[in-house]
Amino acid sequence: MRAAVMYGAGDVRVENRPDPKIVRAADAVVRVVAACVCGSDLWPYRSMPAVDTGRPMGHEFLGVVEETGADVTGLNAGDLVVAPFTYSDNTCDYCAKGLHTSCRNGGRYGFDGVDGGQGEAVRVPYADGTLVKLPVAADSALLPSLLALSDVMTTGHHGAVTAGVGRGDTVLVVGDGAVGLCAVIAARRLGAERIVLAGRHEARTGLGREFGATDVVPERGEEGIARIRELTGGGADKVIEAVGTRQSLDTALGAVRDGGTISRLGFPQYEEGPIGPAPFRRNITLTGGVSPARAYIGQLLPDVLDGTITPGRVFDRAFPLHQAPDAYRAMADREVLKALVTP
Amino acid sequence: MRAAVMYGAGDVRVENRPDPKIVRAADAVVRVVAACVCGSDLWPYRSMPAVDTGRPMGHEFLGVVEETGADVTGLNAGDLVVAPFTYSDNTCDYCAKGLHTSCRNGGRYGFDGVDGGQGEAVRVPYADGTLVKLPVAADSALLPSLLALSDVMTTGHHGAVTAGVGRGDTVLVVGDGAVGLCAVIAARRLGAERIVLAGRHEARTGLGREFGATDVVPERGEEGIARIRELTGGGADKVIEAVGTRQSLDTALGAVRDGGTISRLGFPQYEEGPIGPAPFRRNITLTGGVSPARAYIGQLLPDVLDGTITPGRVFDRAFPLHQAPDAYRAMADREVLKALVTP
């Protein structure tokens, strides 16, 4: 099969790889119908040292089950399924608590002999625990929004849930990437009344407004913080940080109200952060983390199916698989918000 | 009047200071009946640069109202009152939310012309908003436990509340100082079933067991973490960090279960901390901060009055005011857990 493989910063190649086969009895092989490039794929795209053996890329995909192992009982060949961005057994103590990203048997696509999602097919471990069956046809117009459940929409939702967003709240979302925009959808869905979106890319913040943002703050740094504090009457109680840089964390800390909560969704591009006396005196809570997408797909699926939420609108360009390198380049250059990749 | 004043590390003096008088109409003057030395007083005791104008010390006290300003309506001369460790108006938006430590008119004893608590009398700003009347006589045997409401007990409670401790929980308390021991009381009071106390001072951990700790872990560092993880079947869901050093934070991070919460009560002795990819992947929440004691005194008072909780047992030695320097020395040398100071 053909699949996208990264060999270092800026070096994504589409090449032949072995066709996936059932290895363990809990596996399924899924023929990919739609995949995409994640904002987090851009971190290695910008910084990965050159390697001889490339890393299969992609962790967001949906597709059709082609074959199942002997222990798989909940899926059949022909089922259309979406894959959360990590696989998990859905039976261990962590999964039972809804923290599938800490699954005792879980793992990541593209590592440990498991295929990446940006390819023609994927062997999915713990298929029963991982994959969620979709009650639509493989040519449904809902496919982009269903694909968004594999990561960006469930991640945005994780931010809103862990920040404790509820009816009538004022919420700040830092970052106008696909996750930030999905966090706007999620905050609105949970009842937030005022949603301030910090971002400066007009096409994206425009979509953010359509998703429910009531205010957009393009200014950065101290100027942006001052503007947000003014708009929110002294700071936001709930902040969703959807970038991952120290600068965006500083914006979140500057704009959150005393006693407020910052939920981090952007993968931290730092090892240490400012958690000394200042936020301690202000009783700031820092929460969030890698979203247990599997736990949320079932909650969000009905709203996607009936059109209440349309997170698939974050996909603003589709690339055939052989153009995956272009998809990376276009996203890295911010020409494209989120790239759909179809085999 | 006589009062304790700090002039630098290791240099506490008891000296004459002006008798407090009503300055603003919302003030009250309180004649101190009992005060104490806080673990946080030991940080400047160990590190404060020498100064010419000393800093009045102490922020935990109870006493009898001597005089009230024209605007004070809820208190009368002769009332026995306890002071939370910061003053607050109890009317601003933060106070209305129960975050009195962020009060827009609030402040700290010993700063901005306000007396410290380790003295014969204190001018208390916003007396109606700050002081809580106690329905006992000034010679009540409950005085030590009521005094504990000014800081250590309400701080321990803040840790248990923000960590989300509930019925049946397993809780780790890091630190066997007075706050850690009060956190044990608070965790038990909120229904924790298993309470692991990390501390190595046997007299203190012994008291911790009487307060409700089910297990004591004296080992530190990696050894301590391994022991806690073993005792808790892989880590504690709720951790209360009651020390404030990087080492104790590292213990908390090592011993918390994925998806768990660390509530910090110990004033951070660091500016930056480890909030990078590792805790992000594990979905660790960091919460807590300076306790809004004023918000909690009313909740805890009935349990002190009926003897359900006895936080006053943390006071293991009383010093007359003129021996305040000895009280500091004894606490700094860990001869004394918590020193009561009586004018």
Q: Cβ contacts of residue A53 below 8 Å, gap of 6+?
A: none
CB B155 within 8 A of CB B279: no
Instruction: Measure CB to CB from residue B259 to each of A97, A234, A286 and give the nearest one.
Output: A97
The amino acid occupying position B134 is L
Interface of B with A in 181-210 (CB under 8 A): none
> Are A280 and B270 inside 8 Å of each other by CB?
no
Any CB–CB contact under 8 A between A259 and chain B? yes
Any CB–CB contact under 8 A between B49 and chain A? no
Interface of B with A in 72-131 (CB under 8 A): 93-94, 97, 99, 101-102
Distance, in Å, from the CA atom of B122 to the CA atom of B109, rounded to the nearest integer, reads 9
Beta bridge partners of A238: A171, A261
Any CB–CB contact under 8 A between A17 and chain B? no
Helix (H) or strand (E) holding A206: helix A202-211
Any CB–CB contact under 8 A between B245 and chain A? no
> Could you tell me the fold of the domain covering B2-151+292-342?
Quinone Oxidoreductase; Chain A, domain 1 (3.90.180)
> Could you tell me the fold of the domain covering A153-288?
Rossmann fold (3.40.50)
Q: Where are the domains of chain A?
A: 2-151+292-342, 153-288
Report pLDDT for B224.
97
B157-288: CATH, from 1.10.443.10, 3.40.50.300, 2.60.40.10, 3.40.50.720: 3.40.50.720
Taking CA atoms, B273 is separated from A260, A275, B248, B310, in Å, by 19, 6, 12, 34
Tens digit of each residue's pLDDT (9 = 90 or more) over A97-152: 999 999 999 999 999 999 999 999 999 999 999 999 999 999 999 999 999 999 99
Separation of CA B88 from chain center: 16
SS3 state at B158:
helix
Please tell me the distance in Å from B144's CA to the nearest CA on chain A. Answer: 26
* Phi, psi (degrees; rounded to nearest 5) at B264: -95, 130
Closest CA to B312 of B334, B337, B343, B332: B337
Rounded average pLDDT per 10-residue block, chain B, 343 residues: 98 97 98 96 95 96 98 98 98 97 97 96 98 97 98 98 97 98 98 97 97 97 97 96 97 98 97 98 98 98 98 98 98 96 96
Could you tell me where the DSSP H helices lie in A11-126? 42-47, 93-96
Please tell me the distance in Å from A103's CA to the nearest CA on chain B. Answer: 10
Beta bridge partners of B119: B3
Distance, in Å, from the CA atom of A136 to the CA atom of A133, rounded to the nearest integer, reads 9
**pLDDT bucket at A161, cuts 50 / 70 / 90:** very high
Which of the residues B92, B258, B296 would you substitute to probe the A interface, choosing the one with the greatest number of A C-beta atoms within 10 Å?
B258
CB B64 within 8 A of CB B122: no
Please tell me the distance in Å from B43's CA to the nearest CA on chain A. Answer: 13
Instruction: Measure CB to CB from residue B280 to each of A259, A282, A289 and give the nearest one.
Output: A289
Distance, in Å, from the CA atom of A233 to the CA atom of A230, rounded to the nearest integer, reads 5
Please tell me the distance in Å from A76's CA to the nearest CA on chain B. Answer: 32
How much is the mean pLDDT over chain A? Answer: 97
Closest CA to B299 of B98, B95, B125, B38: B98
| Angle, CA of B207, B210 and B213, to the nearest 5° | 90
B252 contacts in chain A (CB < 8 Å)? none
Two structure tokens written together for A231: 């708009």
SS3 state at B149:
coil
CB B184 within 8 A of CB B152: no
Report pLDDT for B9.
97
- The DSSP code for B244 is -
Q: Decide if B2-151+292-342 and B157-288 have a common fold.
A: no
CB B2 within 8 A of CB B119: yes
Distance, in Å, from the CA atom of A66 to the CA atom of A85, rounded to the nearest integer, reads 19
Which of the residues B162, B241, B286, B294 would you substitute to probe the A interface, choosing the one with the greatest number of A C-beta atoms within 10 Å?
B286
A288 contacts in chain B (CB < 8 Å)? 280, 283
Please measure the distance between the N-terminal and C-terminal CA atoms of chain A and give it in whole angstroms.
Answer: 10
Closest CA to A293 of A143, A98, A128, A136: A98
Helix (H) or strand (E) holding A187: helix A178-189
> Are A162 and B285 inside 8 Å of each other by CB?
yes
Q: Can you count the helices (H) and strands (E) in chain B? A: 12, 19
Any CB–CB contact under 8 A between B140 and chain A? no
Instruction: Measure CB to CB from residue B268 to each of A234, A259, A275 and give the nearest one.
Output: A275
Distance, in Å, from the CA atom of B276 to the CA atom of B295, rounded to the nearest integer, reads 33
Which of the residues A43, A248, A283 would you substitute to probe the B interface, choosing the one with the greatest number of B C-beta atoms within 10 Å?
A283
Closest CA to B97 of A261, A230, A239, A85: A261
A111 contacts in chain B (CB < 8 Å)? none
The amino acid occupying position A240 is I
Dihedral over Cα of A58, A61, A63, A65: its sign: positive
Please tell me the distance in Å from B17's CA to the nearest CA on chain A. Answer: 29
Beta bridge partners of B241: B174, B264
Tens digit of each residue's pLDDT (9 = 90 or more) over A222-250: 999 999 999 999 999 999 999 999 999 99
> Are A287 and B289 inside 8 Å of each other by CB?
no
Sheet with strand A285-288: strands edge to edge: A215-217, A194-198, A170-174, A236-241, A256-264, A285-288, B285-288, B256-264, B236-241, B170-174, B194-198, B215-217
Which of the residues A275, A281, A287, A291 would you substitute to probe the B interface, choosing the one with the greatest number of B C-beta atoms within 10 Å?
A275
**pLDDT bucket at A3, cuts 50 / 70 / 90:** very high
Taking CA atoms, A17 is separated from A66, A173, A253, B123, in Å, by 17, 40, 45, 78
Closest CA to A235 of A183, A282, A278: A282
B293 contacts in chain A (CB < 8 Å)? none
> Are B288 and A280 inside 8 Å of each other by CB?
yes
Interface of B with A in 265-284 (CB under 8 A): 267-268, 270-277, 279-284
Exposure string for A274-303, b = 16+ CB within 10 A, e = fewer? bbebebbebbbbbbbbbbbbbbbbeebbeb
Distance, in Å, from the CA atom of A32 to the CA atom of A23, rounded to the nearest integer, reads 18
Dihedral over Cα of B165, B167, B169, B172: its sign: positive
Closest CA to B208 of B197, B219, B217: B197
Which residue reads 């050159």 in tokens? A50
Distance, in Å, from the CA atom of B141 to the CA atom of B144, rounded to the nearest integer, reads 7
Taking CA atoms, A277 is separated from A262, B264, B290, in Å, by 17, 11, 10
Which residue reads 């004023």 in tokens? B294
Least CA distance to B279: which residue of chain A? A289
Beta bridge partners of A172: A196, A239
Report pLDDT for B297.
98
Please tell me the distance in Å from B296's CA to the nearest CA on chain A. Answer: 15
Please tell me the distance in Å from A67's CA to the nearest CA on chain B. Answer: 31
| Residue ranges with strand state E in A52-169 | 55-56, 61-68, 80-83, 86-87, 107-108, 121-124, 132-133
Taking CA atoms, B121 is separated from B22, B25, B61, B82, B201, in Å, by 12, 18, 10, 13, 34
> Are A287 and B285 inside 8 Å of each other by CB?
yes
> How many other C-beta atoms can be found within 10 angstroms of the C-beta atom of residue A209?
15
Q: In degrees to the nearest 10, what's the CA dihedral of B315, B319, B323, B325?
A: 0
> Are B277 and A287 inside 8 Å of each other by CB?
no
Report pLDDT for A13.
98
> Are A272 and B275 inside 8 Å of each other by CB?
yes
> Are A99 and B271 inside 8 Å of each other by CB?
no
Tens digit of each residue's pLDDT (9 = 90 or more) over A165-192: 999 999 999 999 999 999 999 999 999 9
Report pLDDT for A119.
98
Gyration radius (Cα) of chain A, Å: 20
